[in-house]
Amino acid sequence: MLAQSRQWDGRGGRRRRQSALARRYGHLLFVAPGFVFFIAFMVLPSLAGFAVSLTNWTGVGTDFSFVGLDNFVEALGSWPLYRAAWHNLIMFLAILVFQHTVGLFVAVQLHAKPRFMEVYRTILFLPVIISLVSTGFIWTLMLSPNIGVINALLKDLGLGFLARAWLSDPDLALATVIGVQCWNVLGWAIIIYLAGLQAIPEELLQAAEIDGATGWVRFRRVVFPLLSPSFTALTVLTFIGQFRVFDIVYVLTGPLGSPNFETDVLATLIYRSAFGGSSIASNDVRMSYAVALAVIVFVIMAIASTFLIRVLRRREISA
Amino acid sequence: MILIAASVLVLIPVAYMVLASFKTIPDFFGNPYGLPAHWAFDNYTRAWTEAHVSITLPNTIIVTFCSVAGSTLLAALIAFGLCRKERAFALTLYTFFVSGLLVPVQMIILPLFILLKWFGLFGTLAALILPYIALGLPLGVLVLTPIASSIPRDLFSAAQVDGASELQIFRRVALPLLKPGLVSVAILNGVWMWNEFFIPLIIAFTPSSQTLPVGIISFIGVYSTEWGLVFASVVISTVPIVVAYLFMTRQFQSGLTAGAIKG
Amino acid sequence: MARVQLSGLTKAYSGSDASAVSDLSLDIADGEFLVLVGPSGCGKSTALKMIAGLEESTSGEVWIGDEMVNDHAARDRDIAMVFQSYALYPHMSVFDNIAFALQIAKRPKAEIRERVAEVARILQLENYLDRRPGSLSGGQRQRVAMGRAIIRQPAVFLMDEPLSNLDAKLRVQMRSEIARIQHRLKVTTVYVTHDQVEAMTMGDRVALMRDGVLQQVDTPERIYNRPNNTFVASFIGSPSMNLYHATLVREGSGGRVRLGDVELSVPASVYESHPALAQTNGAVILGIRSENLEDAVFVPNHPEGQQFTATVTLAESLGSDLMVHFRINAPPAKIVDQDLLDEIAVGDDFGVCVGRFNARSAAKPGDTVNIAIDCSELHFFDAENGRAF
Ligand SMILES: Nc1ncnc2c1ncn2[C@@H]1O[C@H](COP(=O)(O)OP(=O)(O)OP(=O)(O)O)[C@@H](O)[C@H]1O
Ligand SMILES: [Mg+2]
């Protein structure tokens, strides 16, 4: 049987030559389809976007001219940019603190393997997969001053004096937006920290215990340093998320970041500049200016996240 | 205790969303947090027709499915093409694709808009699918390339000796071994594409090509007081992904975490 | 079916300055079974991969049949290979692993089943066909890897230590099985092994490499009896050949060799078979195979000049033989190879010599025994470069 016809592969002795080119670069054929897509829908638009940012094009018509870096100069000298960036920064910091305290705390509780741990974990992660748009709607209604459940509940509990116009009070709006986001992103912190905690070898904790470190000391000196990778991941994730945040602000407080731009962020600012908010006259819409803003955000984010990853990774190693 | 409290806090808004979708307008005013006085099931039937959910739901499903399939497959091809370290340009291309993660959508959306118009794709679902595929690639490459690189080289060599062409090696050896990574990427991108709001907000403005999140928004302008209707749409848009999540909790969690930690 | 020729084959991995294989030239006849041996890291696997087309050569040519195949992809070279790392597809059953090549070639299902069944029978894998490689032992995996190769009838078999993980009994069985298959199919085979017995028994010829350089290619007998240099001498044979610095002086038609405080006479027959020895007077490296040493009790009437006494340091019984270690007051010749150094050099001024004695010998540690040495089987190497005379 084994000795049967050697022509088993149907190719017989016919052998194909393979050029050096094919051998060296053949693998690029696998990259090509993705590469084409990537170039067409990512790279070209990016470059085109950059090109547009150097003109004064409004977004409609063909009437435009090259204006060099004017848009950038104007953007960097304009107050709304800094105001929006400031709001992004506050959101980032507030949510960062929330994630690294509450999120970590809940993760530690979960790690202790209580009964129904799986159930808790499933529930607590749930908001992450619910879209920011849906989240926004749910909370818009819940926070609504007249038909919202929150104020109604407060009143019925005799805490009516706490009822507020959560999303239209200039002093509260930003905090409320942050609070809603906390609800949506807590799952990330839990799941990332939980993964980190589960990666810590049991023996290490036992060794620490033998060395006399227990409770809080053990957590701070042994466990927390070992959670560095989780800390890094979560920080970077939060950073990127918060400096890009758009959907939830758009739904909760609209493209204007109302009230009075108190919740205006970079993404809504760019959106408004490009497509106009409902109450802005259309002559204020300048596509080129919007794209220049986006380029600025891109550059800052690229620099900041590279920097952030560097610093945090270094900390991981030295920890 | 803490966990119970946290879970309740998480569940209340979700429950509220479901309840609200059955309420009538008077109910919202008279009975903000109780059960609906009268279960308004017709919120759903009305959402289905008046809020165009009958169009946007299939749209979202098609767009998400095609984009996830497309970008996962293309990313797997790229990962396979790049996975052997000494291959020409491998590192450069890897960096090139992954750096796409940093590009803000706002920067490319307008040229994208023009490009799609130019291709005559406006008003078709392809106008969303094609960019989604491209936008899903950076993450796919980021997650899959290291997994592909960790496949022992000898496996590919063995397949070569066994007479397999590169395409057969990809399909019969690499792809099955990439499976856990593929699931992660598919989920990560799938959640994102299902929920994406900004891109369809700009690109898909005709109802026939809208997806759920945008459909609801444009609907709210018309019926801004009809909260029951809005929430029926919200529930419809949320249920499929939540069901998928409940069925594959573990894969969702590990998949999303893998992407997050790498990203 | 196919002659394999390598000429000037060289491989330098990018990132390392030393070549893994340098200037390897071999001519493997059609149907020949060539065994490739050498210490770890000497480039055996690399050489195989270059023949297979899995690793591109830096320079040199590979010919299979009458075709230069440098430009052919691995799948067009008509070879089958057993990988040192097994390289089994972890996601496929044993059956699919073995059948993969046939499936790729789109053979009819029935034929595939039949052939897999036969291979499984030969390799005693019938009970594992449905399992995944992950749930197999090392030896079982190795047999699957073997099966994947022998199910085909390629022009060339390349086998990289295919039996290294099997237990002694199975190894003997598989060895003869491979030999039988190879014999029947008459497929040109290059077989890498670390095992002395495999090297000596299976190969039509044995090729020995060191640091990427081919040292000697010869029939097992010749490579054992006429090693080209001290490296070959010490590598082939177990225990390795005893090698010492010694002084050789011509005397009449024969000679005398001084080994520390021992003097042995070299019969004229040695000079006749090694003409180059005639020009030598002075320092040499003397090689003695352990089986040429014997307890003098068992060799009555052994010539006077071919005996010496030594103190036994260790006696190990193998059942059939008694391996006796004793001190010799002569500096051992060092082979510049870390692995072998430990075995050969124990001290600087005296060496340990191993003799294979009759199992009934009474030698035990501490004894001073009279040892008979078969001086017609002595090996002499140049003290400068280790080359054989
Ligand atoms: N992919 C590679 N890149 C760089 N160097 C390599 C690579 N593969 C092997 N080498 C080097 O080439 C030399 C020869 O390796 P090879 O695997 O051929 O040795 P070998 O004789 O098969 O050893 P062993 O008996 O341990 O299997 C070694 O020094 C090794 O470190
Ligand atoms: Mg090897």
Q: Which ligand is nearest to the CA of C43?
A: 1
Pairing of strands C262-266, C21-28: unpaired
Is C81 within 8 Å of B176 when comparing Cβ atoms? no
Handedness of CA A233, A236, A242, A245 (dihedral sign): negative
Domain ranges within chain A, ordered by starting residue:
2-53, 72-318
Regarding the beta carbon of C41 and ligand 1, being less than 6 Å apart is answered yes
Whether the predicted pLDDT of A232 surpasses 60: yes
Mean of the per-residue pLDDT values of chain C: 87
CA separation for the pair C165, C188 (Å, rounded): 24
- Taking contacts as CB-CB distances below 8 angstroms, the residues of chain C near B172 are 89, 100, 104
Q: What pLDDT score was predicted for residue B260?
A: 63
CA distance A15 to chain C (A): 5
For residue B29, which of A29, A147, C158, A166 has the smallest C-alpha distance? Answer: A147
Residue C17 exposure: Cα atoms within 13 Å on the Cβ side = 0
Q: What pLDDT score was predicted for residue C345?
A: 45
Q: Does C71 touch chain A (CB under 8 A)?
A: yes
Nearest protein CA to atom 23 of ligand 1, as residue: C41
Give the whole-number percent of chain A exceeding pLDDT 90.
20
- Taking contacts as CB-CB distances below 8 angstroms, the residues of chain C near A9 are 78, 101, 105, 152
Superfamily of the domain at A72-318:
MetI-like (1.10.3720.10)
> Neighbours of B (≥3 Cβ pairs closer than 8 A)?
A, C
Q: Does C105 touch chain A (CB under 8 A)?
A: yes
Q: How confident is the model at residue C1 (pLDDT cuts 50, 70, 90)?
A: low
Q: How confident is the model at residue C130 (pLDDT cuts 50, 70, 90)?
A: very high
For residue C202, which of C226, C222, C177 has the smallest C-alpha distance? Answer: C177
Q: How confident is the model at residue A69 (pLDDT cuts 50, 70, 90)?
A: confident
Q: Does A317 touch chain C (CB under 8 A)?
A: no
Q: What pLDDT score was predicted for residue A319?
A: 44
- Return phi, psi of residue B180, to 5°: -55, -40
Mean pLDDT of A291-297: 89
- Taking contacts as CB-CB distances below 8 angstroms, the residues of chain A near C76 are 11, 15-16, 18
Mean pLDDT of A179-191: 91
Provide the b/e sequence for A267-282 (b: ≥16 CB within 10 Å): bbbbbbbbbbbeeeee
Whether the predicted pLDDT of C354 surpasses 70: yes
Q: How confident is the model at residue A318 (pLDDT cuts 50, 70, 90)?
A: low
pLDDT tens digit string along B214-240? 888 776 665 566 778 888 888 988 999
Domain ranges within chain C, ordered by starting residue:
4-234, 239-382
> With contact defined as beta carbons under 8 Å apart, do C85 and C105 qualify?
no
Is C89 within 8 Å of B173 when comparing Cβ atoms? yes
- Return phi, psi of residue A41, to 5°: -110, 5
Span C4-234 CATH architecture? 3-Layer(aba) Sandwich (3.40)
A177 C-alpha vs ligand 2 centroid, how far in Å? 62
pLDDT tens digit string along A250-276? 888 888 777 878 888 998 888 888 877
Whether the predicted pLDDT of B74 surpasses 90: yes
pTM for the model stands at 0.86
Q: What pLDDT score was predicted for residue A279?
A: 45
For residue A104, which of A232, A204, A200, A227 has the smallest C-alpha distance? Answer: A227
| B87 class by beta-carbon count within 10 Å (0-12 exposed, 13-18 middle, 19+ buried) | middle
Neighbours of C108 (CB within 10 A): 9
Whether the predicted pLDDT of A4 surpasses 50: no
Nearest protein CA to atom 28 of ligand 1, as residue: C41
3-state SS class at C130: coil
Q: What pLDDT score was predicted for residue C159?
A: 93
Q: What pLDDT score was predicted for residue A8?
A: 40
- Return phi, psi of residue C108, to 5°: -60, 145
Q: Which atom, in ligand 1's list, is nearest to the CA of C49? A: 18
Q: How confident is the model at residue C339 (pLDDT cuts 50, 70, 90)?
A: very low
Regarding the beta carbon of C13 and ligand 1, being less than 6 Å apart is answered yes
Give the whole-number percent of chain B exceeding pLDDT 70.
94
- Taking contacts as CB-CB distances below 8 angstroms, the residues of chain B near A233 are 260-261, 263
Question: Considering only A195-199, B25-29, B72-76, C141-145, which range has the smallest mean pLDDT?
Answer: B25-29
Q: What pLDDT score was predicted for residue C215?
A: 92
pLDDT tens digit string along C48-107? 999 999 988 899 999 998 888 888 888 888 899 999 888 999 999 999 999 999 999 999
ipTM of the complex: 0.87
- H/E stretch holding C288 reads strand C282-288
For residue A177, which of A240, A216, A122, A135 has the smallest C-alpha distance? Answer: A135
- Taking contacts as CB-CB distances below 8 angstroms, the residues of chain C near B171 are none
pLDDT tens digit string along B246-257? 888 887 877 777
Mean pLDDT of B41-47: 83
pLDDT tens digit string along A84-129? 999 999 999 999 999 999 999 999 888 888 888 889 988 998 998 8
Regarding the beta carbon of C43 and ligand 1, being less than 6 Å apart is answered yes
Domains of chain B: 1-40 (no CATH), 50-256 (1.10.3720.10)
C52 C-alpha vs ligand 2 centroid, how far in Å? 14
pLDDT tens digit string along C21-35? 999 999 999 999 999
pLDDT tens digit string along A122-172? 899 899 889 888 999 889 888 888 777 888 888 888 777 777 788 888 888
Q: Does C153 touch chain A (CB under 8 A)?
A: yes
Regarding the beta carbon of C97 and ligand 1, being less than 6 Å apart is answered no
Mean of the per-residue pLDDT values of chain A: 82
> With contact defined as beta carbons under 8 Å apart, do C20 and C12 qualify?
yes
Of B3, B103, B110, the CB nearest to A291: B110
Q: What pLDDT score was predicted for residue B204?
A: 80
Tokens of A311: 């610093």
- Taking contacts as CB-CB distances below 8 angstroms, the residues of chain B near C75 are 160-165
A22 C-alpha vs ligand 1 centroid, how far in Å? 25
> With contact defined as beta carbons under 8 Å apart, do A232 and A312 qualify?
yes
Whether the predicted pLDDT of C344 surpasses 90: no
Q: How confident is the model at residue C349 (pLDDT cuts 50, 70, 90)?
A: low
Q: Which atom, in ligand 1's list, is nearest to the CA of C43? A: 18
Nearest protein CA to atom 19 of ligand 1, as residue: C41
pLDDT tens digit string along B121-135? 888 899 999 999 999
Mean pLDDT of A33-51: 91
Mean pLDDT of C189-211: 90
Q: How confident is the model at residue C346 (pLDDT cuts 50, 70, 90)?
A: very low
Q: Which ligand is nearest to the CA of C41?
A: 1
Mean pLDDT of C352-365: 88
Whether the predicted pLDDT of A248 surpasses 80: yes
Regarding the beta carbon of C45 and ligand 1, being less than 6 Å apart is answered yes
CA separation for the pair C380, C245 (Å, rounded): 10
Regarding the beta carbon of C42 and ligand 1, being less than 6 Å apart is answered yes
- Return phi, psi of residue B211, to 5°: -105, 170
Which of C9, C10, C16, C36 is the best mutation target for the ligand 1 pocket, counting ligand atoms within 8 Å of the beta carbon and taking the most? C16
For residue C372, which of C382, C388, C358, C386 has the smallest C-alpha distance? Answer: C358
Whether the predicted pLDDT of A16 surpasses 80: no
Is B112 within 8 Å of A45 when comparing Cβ atoms? yes
pLDDT tens digit string along B80-92? 999 876 677 888 8
Pairing of strands C213-218, C205-210: antiparallel
Nearest CA in chain A to B15: A138
Q: How confident is the model at residue C347 (pLDDT cuts 50, 70, 90)?
A: very low
Q: Does B155 touch chain C (CB under 8 A)?
A: yes
Q: What pLDDT score was predicted for residue C164?
A: 84
Q: What pLDDT score was predicted for residue B60?
A: 93
Is A1 within 8 Å of C151 when comparing Cβ atoms? no
